[in-house]
Amino acid sequence: MISTSSPKNNILFVDDEINNLISFKAAFRQKYNVFTAQGGNEALDIMKSNKILIIICDQKMPVMTGVELLEQVLNLYPDTIRMVLTAYSDINTIIEAINKGKIYRYISKPWNEEELILIIDHAIESYFLKEENRKLIEDKARLQLLFERQQKENIISQLESLKNQMNPHFLFNSLNTLSALIHEDIQSAERFIIQLTNVYRYVLDQSERSLVRLSDELTFMRSFFYLQKIRFGENIYLNERQTDENISNYYIPPLALQLLLENAIKHNVISKEIPLYIDVSVDEQLYLTVRNNYQKKEGNSSTPGLGIKNLKERYGLITSKLPEFTIVNNSFIAKIPLLSSF
Q: How many CB atoms lie within 10 A of CB 40?
A: 22
CA–CA distance, 121 with 160 (Å, rounded to integer):
57
Under-70 pLDDT residues of the chain: 1-7, 87-101, 150-172, 207-208, 242-246, 299-305, 341-342
Residue 141 CA to its chain's centroid (Å): 12
Amino acid at 63: V
Question: What does 276-339 look like in DSSP terms, one character per residue?
Answer: EEEEEEE-TTSEEEEEEE--BPTT--S-HHHHHHHHHHHHHTT-S---EEEEETTEEEEEEE-B
Q: Where are the beta strands (DSSP E) in the chain?
A: 10-14, 33-37, 54-58, 81-86, 105-108, 212-213, 236-240, 251-252, 276-282, 287-293, 324-328, 331-337
Angle at alpha carbon of residue 66, lines to 64 and 71, rounded to 5°: 90
Residue 289 has what pLDDT? 94
CA–CA distance, 107 with 119 (Å, rounded to integer):
9
Of the candidates 160, 146, 243, the residue with the CA atom closest to the CA atom of residue 207: 160
Q: What is the pLDDT of residues 250-270, one digit of tens each?
A: 999 888 888 899 889 888 999
Residue 5 has what pLDDT? 45
Residue 4 has what pLDDT? 41
CA–CA distance, 113 with 87 (Å, rounded to integer):
15
Residue 292 has what pLDDT? 95
Name the strand (E) or helix (H) holding 149: helix 113-165
Residue 310 has what pLDDT? 78
Domains of the chain, CATH where assigned: 7-136 (3.40.50.2300), 166-337 (3.30.565.10)
Q: What is the pLDDT of residues 271-319, one digit of tens each?
A: 999 999 999 998 888 899 999 999 988 765 544 567 788 788 888 878 8
